Structures are given as C-alpha cells and as structure tokens.
Structure 1
C-alpha cells in the first residue's frame, strides 16, 4: 500500500488550513492505495505559518519502487494563458509555471549526489487549460479541471510499477534529509491549543444561551469537554456587565491557573483559600497546626452574617464532585439574591470518594465529549472501564504517541530510572521542558519522586514542598520540570505528560478514577511509567474491552 509522509495531515483539516492540499491527499490515498509508492507532502504543523509545499513550489513528491521521482505542483484557482505559457499571479506578481517547475527540478538534481530520475506533473483542479500546446509544459503532464478524475491513472502511467531497487532506498534517504518530515512539536502545540479551545468552546456558547430563572445550572462534563472555557466565559461576561463573580474550586493549583487566565476583578480561590481569607478578614490567624482548623473555619463561615463584600452576583463552582454538602451550603450563601450559579463536576474525577452533592431544582446539562485528549487515550480509557458513561472522542488528534515503560514493583530506583528515560524520550521528540509535566499516581506524602529536588543533574524538579509562606502561598522547589501528584494536577494539562509511579494490586474504582484523571491530562504525548503487575492488569483489561495495544 502507498505510504504518506508525514502522518497527521487528516487532523489539519479542522484548522481550515491546507484544505485543497488535504483534498488531494485524500484522493491520492484512495486512488493509489494498492501501490507501493511513497508519497511526501508539506501539510503539517510546522508549515502552518509558511504555506504547505513540500519543497519549493512542489506540493507532492511521489517515489516509485525503482527510485524515480514525480514532482506535483498543485495550483488552485485561476491561471493566465500567455505567449510565455501558463502564468499564475502570486501576491500581484506574475510567475511562469514552466520556470518554477524547471527551477525546482534543477534544485533537486543539484542536491542529490548522483543521477536522479525526475518527472513532473502540473495539477490545476479549478482551471481548464484552453490551449495545452501553448502552456509551455508537455500537455500529457497537465491535469486540469476537465481531467482531474485521471490524476491517479496518470501517476501510474508516469511511474510504472517495478521491483524495488537500491536506488529507491537512496532516494528516500535523500528525501528524509532534505524535507521537513518531522513536525515541530512547538508549532503543533500552539495549533492544538487553538483547535481544542475552539472545539470545546461550544459548551461555553450554548450553555450560556439557556434561559431559566433562577439561573442554577449543573454541568456534568467529562475531562476536556470545555468546562474551563465555560468558567472563563461566565467570569469575563460578569465583569463586562459590571458584576462581581466568584470562582471557587477544590484544588489550589487549579485556582492559581484560573487566576492567571481571568481579568482582574471578582475573586478566584479554592475552597480552603476562601476559608483562610474569611478568617483573616475577621482579624484572626488560622492555626494550621491544629487538626480541627478547617472544621472550625467551616463552622464559622456556615453561620456568620456575610457582609456585602462577601456576596457575589455570579458563582462558579468547579470540581464540584470534590465538594461536601457543608461546602455547598457555604458557597451558595455567598450568592446574591437573583444571582447566577454554575456548578461544574465530573463523577469520573471523584478521587476522594465523596457522594455527589444534591442540587434539587437545578437544571442539569451533560457534556460527554472529550475534545482535549487524543482519541486513542479516550478509547483506551473506555476499554479498561474507566468511564461511568460512554465518552465521545472529539479531539482532532487520533494518536497520542503513547508509550509504556515498566519497572519491578517496589523498586524505586528502577522507577526513577524509567521516569528519567521518559523525560529523555519527550525531549528527543522535540518537546521543551516547559511542555512536559510529570504526574505521580501517588499523593505527595506517599510519592518518592515528589520528595526529590531533581531526577538527575540535568532534570531538576519544580514541585510543591508541602509548605506555605506567611501569605498562605504554596512553596515550590525551583526546578525546570513540573512535577505534581494526580490529585493536585487535576484540572490542568500538558502537551507531553509522564504519568509515573503507577502501581496497584487490583484495578478497583479508585484506581480507575486515578488512571482517568492522569491519562486525560495529556494533550499530545503520554508516557506511562508503571509497575509490571500494574501493566499486566492494564493490558488484561484492554484486551478484554477492546483491541487497542500499547
């Protein structure tokens, strides 16, 4: 079968970029599927800002088994026919097609050390060449709108199938060195973020169009369904309307993350920050050495008369699955009469085993499409039974570049060695340190990796020490690689995620939820560092639930 290089061109269709090139690739894949051709193109993330040609003005390069090359230049839109042949206007300047093709062929021949057999094809799917004899190009090498149905057949005629030769290997090595076949992850990350934001932003659009009074909306949304976009849209809209919004969640890291995204005004805090701020506003300093400190603060907040400065027009609760009934009552007391309230949660991310908080009379909206996690991750989680309801994979990315590294259970040094290897793998794939996050399956107290300042001299860690400064801010180690527990990293994500210290005796409900949370943090690449016994159970569940394999 024909092989198309590089992969990932189908995913580019959601950007709206390279639409005509992708249309042609789809046609080539269909018409040449039974051939041993190698097809090269320039439709990938690195070229988003620079056009989509594979080399010079050439859009596609096809290599036959004998090493013969066919260069295809695709020109969309209209052409001019002059006495000098076919002419295309680029940015207002006329360019002769014959000259472009000859210049590219000459460039290829000069760079190749040896004799290179090259042919060419002009493909103009939108234009009918009126006088092929005056085109300046052999008419048999022109496929226009009237003959585009013969594109596949013409390629087969120009590149007859022969046995594979050594020249084929030399030519493909040459193309591998000459063309930008490896997409740049830094370019891919930016496009991925924009696409996922746009796709998952639908929840923020239609959830806010619902009208009912009082406005009490409970959103039960899976990971990557757009809950964060909804929170940001609601928060910003409140500020634009001159209202005071309150965003409150369970995790401090998530609150810090949201606080960096929203405009100034209103309040963003996790529940314990809110409690701390309330006590300090009363002129008291929390005694965090006391085991009853949080119960005392909660009791104080639950019964106090709240001043106007502690009342808000809009309430946004995130990670509602981690809230208790007491917490629910406290935050709802902060909502003004007639205010708007949105409660967002995901039962599959309930890591603390709490019962779902009852919200009688609230409108419930389900959002079961994950736009952030690559489709392979979503399918894998479904195959091991890690989702309570079927989740639709809505990401533009099919593969997640998933890797598994194992270690003997209880062997901390082996686990650390495999984690270091995972970091090296991500760096070698082109991800920067700022794009990589290490997420531990264990909590901070039981994790070996989260107690370290560094994995190696080259890999220092930025992780929470467990201490807070005088202003209640968490103190972090000053390293280059972010390292968090699965509990603290919930609600966030990274382009490349290393999910490490995965070890369990049996795949119970809590284990499945932790796997769900951890694996859905990856946006592009996922490396699972797991014990051998955990790996066996994982693969057993996958083989029982689907055909996906690591």
Structure 2
C-alpha cells in the first residue's frame, strides 16, 4: 500500500505540472504588454495562499488563474470538490473564495480600487454538474482553453478607477509576493521528471530484434542506462529466460540487488562477485590486502577460461559499465550465451578505465543525451571538453553555472569547503541532499581525515573501515563525504567537489572531473587550487 501511495502522489504531481505547463504555453500567445507571473504568494495576517499564475494586463487589471488538473465534480449538495484520496475531499469553491479574500486584503494594503478577476482553469478536464457559488463563465475547461488569451484580453477592457500603473503592480508582485521556492523542495519532483525523460533507452532498446548476439549501448551519465538494465531484466523474467546482470560499480549493483527483480534473476552483482561464485574461489575477506589485486585478476582469468569452455547457456546478459573491464573479459561473455541469447554491453565512453572493446558484429546505439545533468553544468562540461563529443542536456532544470572556490593550502581548503557547504545551505539544500566528494584517494584526503571540517557545526557521514553483509558502513554524520570514485553510480541534488588539484588537464583528469561533475542533479560547487583554477580558466 505504501508503494501504491507513493505512485499516486507522483502521478498527481505530474498531472498538476502538465496542467500548469499547458497554461504557461497558451499564455505565450498573449500580445506584448501583458505580464505573466507564476507562484505568487499572497500570504497576509498569518493566512498563507499561493496563486498558480497571475496575469497583469496593460491597463493594470489583475487576472488570477487557479489551475487544476483533471475533472472537478459538483457533489449532491452542489459543492465543487476535488478528491485527494487519503487526504479527503476539498471544496474548491470555498478554497477560491478564501483565496480571493486574501488577495484583495493583501493588495488593498498596496493600492486601493484595483480590478481583480479570478478564473478556475481546467486544461485537461471539465466541471461536471452545477456548483454553488461559482459562475460557469469563470471556469475555463479543456473545451475553452483556446479562448484563454481572448478572455484575458477582454479583462483588459474592464472599467477601472485606480491610478497605479501596470509596471508598479508587476514590480510589487515580483518583489513582495513571488515565491522563491527552496531548491530542496523541488528536488523530488525534478528526479521524477528526469527519470521520465531518460526512459527512452529502456523503452526502445528491449524492442530491438536482430540476428546479432551483441547490442552495444554507448551513453553518458544520466542517460538512463540503469533503467535500461532493469527493463531488460524484467523482460527476461516475463519471458522466462535466464539472465545475468554484471557491473563493476558496487553502488549500482547494490541498487538492483535491493530491487524485487533480484528474486527472479540468476545473478545480479559485480564482475568479481560472479567470478568468485562461478570459480568457487576463496573468500576475498581472507586474503591479505596487499595481495587482493592479484587475487581478483587471477579469479577473473579463471572465470574467463570457464566462459570460453562453454560451461554456461544464458539467454540475457547485461554488462553495465563495460568500459571498466578488460576487453577479452567482455568478449568472453559472448561464449556464455544460449543459441538465441543476447549480450547487452552498456558503456559510458566518457569515463574509461579499461580497454576499448571491438566486436566483429554488433548492433550499436550511441547517445549523447543526459536527462540528469542541469543545462548549465552540461555547458561547462562541454566548454572544458571533458567528453569525447558534446553532451546534450534534456534536463528540465537549467540550474546555475558551477560555483568555484579556490584555496592554496590545507587550512584554506577546509575554510573554502565550509564556505561551499554554507552556500548550499543558503540555497535551501538540506544536509542529506549535499554530498562532499574528494578528488583525492580516501587515505590521502585532508577532508576525509576531518569529520567536522574543522568546526563542530559540520558533521560528516564518512566511510568506516567496517562492512556488514558486504556493504560499507559509515559514521553518523549528516553530510555525506567520500571520494569521487567511490561515489560512482550515485547522485545528489548538490555536489561539492573538493581537493581538486591536478598538474594538467589531461585525459585522466578530464575523466575524473567528468565523473564528479555528472553526480549533481541540481547544483555543483568546485573547491580547487589556485593553480588548477588558472588552467581551467584558460579553457573557458
């Protein structure tokens, strides 16, 4: 029931957003001289109310548009109501009348005799029945949406006797009544929208039918590769076909392990976990840390041999983050396919730590679109030429250009990182929406050695040298702090990249910067040395 409730809330949010976007688009047809203002807070005397859209005509008539998604119903008593599920029913006419009273009281304190007209707008629905206290002429439903601009033009012809100019009214509304929405409050809605926008790969790739056994998908961070992987696994389950999901990034593998699909798929995990399972190798926890690298390589080679010996017959293999593996390991997976099986190779060509894989035959899909990265962050990534080809942001969020904070030593590093956190908090981000990511290694980072950034008012949630059920444990801080590499596969509304200090902007540095900058879904702040700041400035 909880999951269903969340789904219904998300659906209603999307419906409301679509309705408001339809009105916004329609108002673009108004001639010059009409001012459209969204999210107007006319709270007064402890009464809070927000107007969806206000239009101020050239003669200073104020037109209030209250936008509702879907249909409204007049109940048996004639009251116009909207059903909010668990939240009960709300009397819309009562809400509009209360709102109208607050509007008049608030604006009366600003200027007398202002002319105000209010309309209920139903871009995707109708009002069924006859409501008490509402004139049908004040209802603009789906059938009358084409008349919206003409109705507003007619309002401009209404008689008025106020002596306040239109520009003065607009200035008052914008400076005193426009809601400055906290960035944190729109984060969840933005995530929902971005998931929808990045669903293209998950929609179309599973429909590909080809005699070729390999489908390559090359796409950047935020393009929807994880959604695609989940869609492929669900399709395999529905068709009763065997499936493996393999990744090199533990964060993403754990997400899918926590998903219900894990109960229906033969394997979900990392490459090394699969290799250890299939070769029945010794538990890595029992291996000396200095010998772990050689251990994992040996286990991988032993697994590759089993693949090439034809020991498996899997219908669907999804290899995510394939760019991190050796090319011969990737190619060996084709030997594990059934006679009509498919290997899906998902890669980000902009973050490469392994080798380029060349298949003799494959279906290849390339995309440069990212729905997660804000438009202005994407612009800076392109200006720095961090990617093999320019990224295209389809995110609905424009965002701001990344903020830069420079330092020249350890003491100043802590100070500037604290300043970046303070800026994020001022913008409205809560501590659990902020992630501080170091470009240094875990044991060479000054930040990861400072659980309070040098002051008690900061509390960092940092990795411990402890694991539970194979998962990293963290301290009890409120602001997440780890390395950029270990944060791969994750995202946060506000990312603070710190300890950004490199000698050159070479390919390896570009790859790491790309990884860090693409973790932010809303805001990005970069704490870097003076010397490296000059190198970046030369590229911008």
Contact 1:462 1:478 in 2 (8 A): yes
Cα shift readout 1:248-269 (whole Å, capped 9, x = no counterpart): 2222233223322343242222
Q: How far is 1:209 from its partner? A: 0.6
Residue 313 (1) aligns with residue 315 (2):
yes
1:70 pairs with 62, 74, 89, which one?
Answer: 62
| Residues 6-405 of structure 1: pairs in structure 2 closer than 5 A | 15-19=14-18, 21-26=20-25, 28=27, 31=30, 39-41=37-39, 55=49, 59-61=52-54, 70-73=62-65, 89-91=80-82, 104-110=99-105, 114=109, 116-117=111-112, 118-123=114-119, 148-149=149-150, 151-152=152-153, 154-155=155-156, 162=165, 174-175=176-177, 181-261=179-259, 262-264=261-263, 265-278=265-278, 280-281=280-281, 285-290=286-291, 292-304=294-306, 312-329=314-331, 331-350=333-352, 352=353, 354-397=354-397, 399-405=398-404
Contact 2:57 2:156 in 1 (8 A): no
Contact 1:254 1:489 in 2 (8 A): no
* Alignment CA distance shift 1:55-1:227 (3 Å): same
Q: How far is 1:317 from its partner? A: 0.9
Q: How far is 1:232 from its partner? A: 0.8
Supply the distance in 2 between the matched residues of 1:280 and 1:101 (Cα, whole angstroms).
68
Contact 2:371 2:394 in 1 (8 A): yes
What is the TM-score normalised by the length of structure 2? 0.76
SS of equivalent to 1:340: strand
Q: How far is 1:220 from its partner? A: 0.9
Cα shift readout 1:380-401 (whole Å, capped 9, x = no counterpart): 211221221233221122x223
Listed as ranges, the gaps of 5+ residues in structure 1 are: 1-11, 44-53, 81-86, 128-134, 543-550
Q: How far is 1:295 from its partner? A: 3.0
SS of equivalent to 1:357: coil
* Alignment CA distance shift 1:188-1:114 (3 Å): closer
Cα shift readout 1:509-531 (whole Å, capped 9, x = no counterpart): 22222222211111122222222
Supply the distance in 2 between the matched residues of 1:121 and 1:55 (Cα, whole angstroms).
17
* Alignment CA distance shift 1:458-1:205 (3 Å): same
Supply the distance in 1 between the matched residues of 2:387 and 2:20 (Cα, whole angstroms).
38
Supply the distance in 1 between the matched residues of 2:217 and 2:443 (Cα, whole angstroms).
32
Supply the distance in 1 between the matched residues of 2:493 and 2:502 (Cα, whole angstroms).
26
2:447 pairs with 423, 446, 449, which one?
Answer: 449
Supply the distance in 2 between the matched residues of 1:301 and 1:146 (Cα, whole angstroms).
68
Match of 2:458 in 1: 459
SS of equivalent to 2:191: helix
Supply the distance in 1 between the matched residues of 2:450 and 2:460 (Cα, whole angstroms).
7
What is the TM-score normalised by the length of structure 1? 0.75
Q: How far is 1:219 from its partner? A: 0.8
Q: How far is 1:174 from its partner? A: 4.7
Supply the distance in 2 between the matched residues of 1:387 and 1:463 (Cα, whole angstroms).
30
* Alignment CA distance shift 1:25-1:461 (3 Å): same
Contact 2:380 2:401 in 1 (8 A): no
Listed as ranges, the gaps of 5+ residues in structure 2 are: 1-10, 42-47, 84-88, 124-132
Q: How far is 1:207 from its partner? A: 0.6
Supply the distance in 1 between the matched residues of 2:197 and 2:148 (Cα, whole angstroms).
37
**Equivalent pairs, count:** 493
* Alignment CA distance shift 1:324-1:412 (3 Å): same
SS of equivalent to 1:292: helix
* Alignment CA distance shift 1:479-1:378 (3 Å): same
- Cα RMSD of the aligned pairs, angstroms, is 4.4
* Alignment CA distance shift 1:440-1:79 (3 Å): closer
Contact 2:370 2:394 in 1 (8 A): yes
Q: How far is 1:283 from its partner? A: 8.0
Cα shift readout 1:55-109 (whole Å, capped 9, x = no counterpart): 47x543356999x7724245789999xxxxxx99445999998x98765443334
Match of 2:518 in 1: 520
Supply the distance in 2 between the matched residues of 1:473 and 1:136 (Cα, whole angstroms).
59
* Alignment CA distance shift 1:433-1:447 (3 Å): same
Contact 1:224 1:370 in 2 (8 A): yes
SS of equivalent to 1:395: coil
Supply the distance in 2 between the matched residues of 1:408 and 1:126 (Cα, whole angstroms).
54
* Alignment CA distance shift 1:293-1:395 (3 Å): same
Cα shift readout 1:492-547 (whole Å, capped 9, x = no counterpart): 211221122222233222222222221111112222222233333333322xxxxx
Supply the distance in 2 between the matched residues of 1:297 and 1:360 (Cα, whole angstroms).
27
* Alignment CA distance shift 1:368-1:96 (3 Å): closer
* Alignment CA distance shift 1:126-1:478 (3 Å): closer
SS of equivalent to 2:485: coil
1:438 pairs with 407, 425, 436, which one?
Answer: 436
Q: How far is 1:416 from its partner? A: 2.1
Match of 2:126 in 1: none
Match of 1:540 in 2: 538
Contact 1:433 1:481 in 2 (8 A): yes
Cα shift readout 1:93-148 (whole Å, capped 9, x = no counterpart): 99998x98765443334457946433212457899xxxxxxx999x99x9x87684
